Amino acid sequence: MRPPFPFIVAVIAVLFCGSSALGDVPVRGETSFFNDQWLDTVVSIEVEEIENGKTKLSPIGTGFLVETEKGHVLLVTAKHVIVEKAGAVKPNLRYRLNESSGGSVLLQNEEVERHNAGHWYFSSDYDVACRFIAWTGKPKFKTIPLRMFLSHKDIKVGARLLVLGFPLGLRSTAYANPIARQGMVARSDSDGIIADSFVFPGNSGGPVLYSPPLKFGQGLSSNLINEERLIGLISNFISYVDTAYSGQTKRPRVVFEENSGLANIVPADAVIDLIRRDDLREKDKNFELNKGTQQ
């Protein structure tokens, strides 16, 4: 026997009243498995310029902080971010770093060099560069230890990714929180790593993280890596080029270039190779004896 219509209406009313009453209690808890301390390791790389007699800071790329074997701090980015076409390091570079206590610090490249931090180091095979960072005072920055690097051989197609950076220069001058975009490994072989993720100018040099779909408790075992790991850094997006031809002459008239949604990643192994190169290791060792003003 079917219940009368007024009874159904009454039940629905009670349910909605109950939901309204429960809605008065704020729901608290985590909304993501992501360890947001990774965000504090990301650096906005900028150039100081003079425009109409006023100083202007223009974001040009992204970097991230790595802890060396001797406990010092390296800034890592893509080589093309900080090098001009002629091969020289761009002048007036500035580095906006997140402080662990909140806010950000803007370091001048010239100031860093005065603190015995040396010069930039470049990979001969990959689009990657790094330099030691030193600072005045008591700012503290979060760094990525080398044990959090994931080797290229462990990167499988379909792995979930997060790309951190400042696409199109989107950043605040009060803090340097990067934008996170999702993606996946589209290809991983001897030719390199390609990510299925939209990246744009400003993303170059930013860290790419393996992001586990779920994080399991300590009491559970799984073949899945159970925490974020660095798999590499963004080099560039892959373009899709289309050409418009003249209907009369059949010659090309206009070339359209679009973002394909795919990006080349410099593997973390290339960063490790650079960090463990003899000249950089020697600087790391000597820098320990004369730390400049790191505290």
Q: Which of 45, 20, 169 shows the shortest CA–CA distance to 107?
A: 45
**What's residue 114's pLDDT?**
87
Q: What fold does the segment set 36-289 form as a domain?
A: Thrombin, subunit H (2.40.10)
**What's residue 216's pLDDT?**
63
- Among left, alpha and beta (phi > 0; psi -120 to 50; other), residue 92 is left
Strand partners, 45: 61, 95
The whole-number mean pLDDT for each consecutive block of 10 residues of the chain, a chain of 295 residues, reads: 53 48 70 90 94 88 96 96 92 92 88 90 97 84 95 96 95 86 96 96 97 68 80 96 90 91 98 97 81 49
DSSP states along 97-166: EE-TTSSEEEEEHHHHHHTT----EE-SSSS-EEEE---SSS-----B-GGGB--GGG--TT-EEEEEE-
**What's residue 131's pLDDT?**
97
Place of tokens 């890596």: 225
**What's residue 193's pLDDT?**
98
- pTM, two decimals, is 0.85
